[in-house]
Chains A and B, each alone.
Chain A
Amino acid sequence: MPEEIRAGTNLSNILTGAARNSWIALTEDQSKIVGRGESLEQAIKEAQKNGVDDPIVVWAPKTWQPCVHSWATRVEDAK
Chain B
Amino acid sequence: MKKQYSSFPLDEQNPAFPDEKEMFWPTLMVRVGKSHQQTPRFPAVVDSGSPWCIFKSDIGKFLGIDVYAGKRYKMGGVISGITEPIYFHKVKIYVEQDWVIDVTAGFADKLGVTGILGRTGFFDNFHVHFDHSVKPPILQIDRIQKPN
Interface residues of A (CB under 8 A from B): 3-12, 15-16, 23, 25, 39-41, 44, 54-59, 61, 63-75, 77-78
Given contacts A65-B10, A70-B49, A75-B82, 20 further A-B contacts (CB under 8 A): A5-B3, A5-B138, A6-B1, A6-B3, A8-B5, A8-B27, A11-B9, A16-B9, A41-B62, A54-B41, A55-B40, A58-B43, A65-B12, A68-B77, A69-B50, A73-B77, A73-B82, A75-B79, A77-B112, A78-B110
B45 touches A56 (CB 8 A): no
Whether A66 touches B10, Cβ cut-off 8 Å, given contacts A9-B43, A72-B75, is yes
CB contacts (< 8 Å) of B78 on chain A: these are 68, 71
A67–B14 Cα gap in the complex (Å)?
A: 12
A40–B113 Cα gap in the complex (Å)?
A: 13
A72 to chain B, nearest CB (A): 4
A70 touches B118 (CB 8 A): yes
Which of chain B's residues 92-148 have a Cβ closer than 8 Å to chain A?
96, 108, 110-114, 116, 118, 136, 138
Whether A59 touches B41, Cβ cut-off 8 Å, given contacts A6-B2, A69-B113, A74-B110, is no
Which of A11, A61, A75 sits near B6, CB closer than 8 Å? A11
Q: List 9 A-B contacts (CB under 8 A).
A: A40-B61, A59-B111, A66-B14, A67-B112, A68-B78, A69-B50, A71-B78, A72-B110, A78-B82
B54 within 8 A of partner (CB): yes
Which of A7, A55, A73 sits near B110, CB closer than 8 Å? A73
A3 touches B50 (CB 8 A): no
Which of A5, A12, A61, A74 sits near B22, CB closer than 8 Å? A12
A55–B79 Cα gap in the complex (Å)?
A: 35
A23–B75 Cα gap in the complex (Å)?
A: 23
A69 touches B45 (CB 8 A): yes
CB contacts (< 8 Å) of A70 on chain B: these are 47, 49-51, 54, 77, 116, 118
CB contacts (< 8 Å) of A56 on chain B: these are 29, 40-43
B19 within 8 A of partner (CB): no
CB contacts (< 8 Å) of B2 on chain A: these are 3-6
